[in-house]
Amino acid sequence: MASDEVEGTSPLPHADEHITLIGLGAIGVSFLALHLTYSSATVSVYDPRPDLEEHIQAVLPLYLPSSVDVASLISVGRLNLCASLEEACLAATIVQEQGPENVGFKQKTWSEVIRYVAPTCHLWSSTSGIPASKQLEHLSTTDDKHLEYPPTTDDIQASSARQRLLIVHPFNPPHIMPLLELVPSPHTTPAEVSFAKSYFTALRSGHRPITIHRESAGFVANRLSFILFREACHLVNEGVASAEEIDEVVRASLGPRWAMAGPFKMYGFGGGNKGLRGFLDNIGESIGEVWRDAGTITMDDDAWKDKVVEQTTQAYGLPSAEDIRVRDGGLRAVVKAQEEQERVARHGGGQGGQ
């Protein structure tokens, strides 16, 4: 994950930050590993699951460098397992939430958090789909530009929270996948977006925070993924190819291609010396034909679901721990190939320059 610059010469960043992690499931433990490995921030965690300590002891070491020991992180006070949300929030400069994906949980959590933390605390949610504006919609004011005079303490708190909350949407598993979609609400201040961006950039973990300008269902990555998935399900449903064949097609073509360059850059290449305009002029008709012919299955229909579930289960069985391990090793290798590609692009691959 690290860049090609000299490492180990400067201390890890963020010694003054105190991060509160709420929810230590798949995403939470992975973020925990990221913060512990690449920053020197203190981390307090809260999750009401009764097996929290065993869970962290079991999973966290798989994500940490082998030189780092969980027990000693706890004994030196870099990692605190807390019995209540209030305790976890005590010294927080950043609260990062990855609890259950439902509006009720998110709203209730923020109502409590903003009572416990300082009014400057950064508020981040890992949600895959609940925009920041929705997560604070329940608070007393709905428009912080038109506070009643004199404002109540609740009003001030709500308005301030709305300015500080943004989505920091990771891609699973966050300790490996470089993407972080930063999605502010219309109320979030630009300074909060900048802070989140600089936090992750300073980690030098290879993470790539990208700011999304407007809230939209699925943000960007999941949105594109779900839309490709719809067509893939349609093709299975129509018998054009099986689920496994479609997976093989994607793995042998679009995956490697988009790991190297996104759709705009890649199709810009496709237009030769006329760039993307040339591509659209040459191939536009074929693209239009596909768009007109695209599948329109819906989630209300069960027939296609049965087909794709059956074919997928048949092809792969249920995922094993070993499957996940192989996947993660592969993901690391691709991310490394990307970093090498960037290095070559910057330095001209031994031909000097830059």
Residues of span 302-331 touching a second copy by CB under 8 A:
305, 308-309, 311-313, 315-316, 318-319, 322-327, 329-331
Q: Is 285 in the site for a second copy (CB under 8 A)?
A: yes
Residue from 205, 252, 350, 352 that binds a second copy (CB under 8 A)? 252
Q: Is 334 in the site for a second copy (CB under 8 A)?
A: yes
Residue 65, both tokens: 């460098």
Residues 211-230 that bind a second copy (CB under 8 A): 211-214, 216-218, 220-230
Containing 18, the helix (H) or strand (E) segment is strand 18-22
134 binds, options ligand NAD, a second copy, none, Cβ within 5 to 8 A by partner type: none
Residue 123's φ and ψ, nearest 5 degrees, are -120, 120
Instruction: Tell me how far apart the alpha carbons of residues 140 and 98 are, in angstroms, rounded to a whole number.
Output: 24
Cα 199 to Cα 91, 124, 301, distances in angstroms = 18, 12, 43
Q: Is 258 in the site for a second copy (CB under 8 A)?
A: yes
Looking at the Cβ atoms of 62 and 81, the one nearer to a second copy is 62
Residue from 90, 129, 147, 148 that binds a second copy (CB under 8 A)? 129
Quick one: which segment of 13-21, 98-106, 226-234, 241-249 binds ligand NAD (CB under 6 A)?
Answer: 98-106
Helix 153-164 / helix 103-116 crossing angle, nearest 10 deg: 110
Residue 41's φ and ψ, nearest 5 degrees, are -65, 155
Residue from 7, 66, 67, 264 that binds a second copy (CB under 8 A)? 264
Smallest separation (angstroms) from a second copy to the CB of 287: 5
Instruction: Tell me the helix, strand and coil percentages in the chain, rounded to 5.
Output: 50, 10, 35
Instruction: Tell me how far apart the alpha carbons of residues 172 and 328 are, in angstroms, rounded to a whole number.
Output: 10
Quick one: which segment of 12-20, 71-79, 135-143, 290-298 binds a second copy (CB under 8 A)?
Answer: 290-298
